[in-house]
Structure 1
């Protein structure tokens, strides 16, 4: 298999929430950003106005978790303002205001590998991380990311001559190829299996209405992965490895 060029990016964030879409009262967070979140950041920094195909590898660590309060607004389309029910009157429409809780990761360090499908996108993305035109954010808009490193690396499939793992305290999203992998004690020669997630990567717009009354929804392409930490890759197994010697798990 030929050696491929990829963009290696290391980021740091102080407080961040990578929101799970099914959490409401407590805005829970994933341990690492979903692929769609990373791809969205890449598109925003590179100035892409349409979807550009790419594969992503996501690894990282965080120090701890905390809960934070935030102001939450609730409203229903067309509901009139009622003084005893709503806190805000918006031109006769009622809006409720209260507090809710968000789960935040503290002191997050991320290692990302980006593999664009089109060769012409490579330099555009690398330049966008090397010289960002605005502050990068990952997660919520206010979750600012500090770029520690952005560089080109070679990625190749190598047979491990000895056991290898992630950097200390790191975790990674490792793709699940089939249902049989779940039942095994090993996955791709890794010593353990972690928490399984079904994470969004990209989407297409579909019309579930009619031509005259369109109802456009996003149909997400989701990937089955394990979130794994403190594992070891077994010797004599094949892995994607970058030119700095780090394991890579493209999705």
Structure 2
């Protein structure tokens, strides 16, 4: 089966993809790639939360290296104490300008937070939905974005890898794999991406996936994309990150994109 899907080829000079379950700490690691919900959130933001259908997302990407950056900030307990103190001042009708500096001088203990940052990030993002109306709406929003574009932090902006549009429509073939030999013969190596796994399966394919990379519990989808960001409820799934060494599947459906100019193929799984 061949479907036309949207493909974004983007570049980020720097990027930090925080794990949602990692709390603010003195050291904050980054994921190798953004999660499916990060991309879904970007799309929802661009179309003003009008996308209601279930759409599929695939992410393949590389980066040059990791760096350690740092910022100075307050301890997490500062904000809890600040909100409590602020409520008291509001009750007493004390202006914010009169107590803000006093409280900060009295309570704030500055600390240095170190966090990992990826450098020279190149991402290929595949997007598909069977809803023709929403597919067109997403395509038009990506072709002529009217909002600030970033993936990760606000400062992690992105630009097209090549001059021109952020997105183009490409054919992606869904190939049924029945043996590892078939995958090798067709050069269907999955790499630089996440693949979904099941922890409660005795299936040989799943066991091989679990041994092929680093296991993560990552956001899979939102229960309601139309909800405000602060109200969105995340559905988690288990994934294995595959580096450039790659993995040849022995069974299952694989999505394959072929660049007919370079004759290179990209294999991935929907997240």
Q: What's the TM-score bracket when you normalise by the shorter of the two chains?
A: 0.7 to 0.9
Query: 178, 203, 206: which one pairs with 2:222?
Result: 203
Q: 1:241 aligns with which of 234, 251, 256?
A: 256
In structure 2, the CA distance between the partners of 1:93 and 1:13, relative to structure 1 (3 Å rule), is same
Preserved contact between residue 212 and residue 247 of structure 2 (Cα < 8 Å): no
Partner of 1:219: 233
Instruction: Tell me if structure 2 keeps the 8 A contact 1:162–1:234.
Output: no
Specify which structure has the higher proportion of strand.
Answer: 1
Aligned equivalents of 1:204, 1:190: Cα separation in 2: 27
CA distance in 2, matches of 1:237, 1:133: 39
Alignment of 1:96-175 (within 5 A): 96=108, 97-148=110-161, 149-159=166-176, 160=183, 161-166=185-190, 171-175=192-196
**Structure 1 residues 151 and 225, CA gap change in structure 2 (3 angstroms):** same
Residues in 1 aligned to 2:99 and 2:30: alpha-carbon distance in whole angstroms = 32
TM-score (norm 2): 0.72
Distance in 2 separating the partners of 1:92 and 1:218? 36
Query: Which whole-Å deviations, capped at 9, do the CAs of 1:16-50 have from their partners, x for residues lacking one?
Result: 11112314221211110011111111122233256
- State whether residues 26 and 114 of structure 2, in contact with CA within 8 Å, keep that contact through their aligned partners in structure 1: yes
Query: Unmatched 5+ residue regions in structure 2?
Result: 89-97, 177-182, 225-229, 260-264
Change (3 A) 1:188 1:145: farther
Q: Which 4+ runs in 1 deviate beyond 3 A?
A: 49-52, 91-95, 186-192, 216-219, 234-238
Confirm or deny: 8 A CA contact 1:191 1:234 kept in the other structure.
no
Match of 1:84 in 2: none
**CA distance in structure 1 between the partners assigned to 2:127 and 2:51 by the alignment:** 17
> Quick one: distance in 1 between partners of 2:101 and 2:206?
57
How far residue 93 of structure 1 moved from its aligned partner, in angstroms, is 4.9
Residues 26 and 112, structure 2, Cα contact 8 Å, conserved in 1: no
**C-alpha distance 79-197 of structure 1, shift in aligned 2 (>3 A):** same
Residue in 1 that maps onto 2:91: none
Q: Decide which structure has greater helix share.
A: 2
Q: Distance in 2 between matches of 1:20 and 1:237?
A: 28
Query: 2:179 is matched with which residue?
Result: none
Structure 1: which 5+ residue stretches go unaligned? Answer: 82-87, 206-215
Distance change (3 Å), C-alpha of 1:89 and 1:117: farther
Structure-2 change in CA distance of 1:46 and 1:68 (3 Å) = same
Query: Cα gap change, 1:188/1:126 in structure 2, threshold over 3 Å: closer, same or farther?
Result: farther
SS for the counterpart of 2:201 is: helix
TM-score where L is the length of structure 1 = 0.77
By relative contact order (CA 8 Å, sep 6+), the higher-ranking structure is 2
What CA deviation, in whole Å up to 9, does each residue of 1:52-72 have, x standing for no partner?
421111110111111111132
Q: Secondary structure at the match of 1:152?
A: strand
Q: 1:134 to 1:220 in 2, by over 3 A?
A: closer
Secondary structure at the counterpart of residue 58 of structure 1:
strand
**Superposition map of 1:38-49 within 5 A:** 38-49=39-50
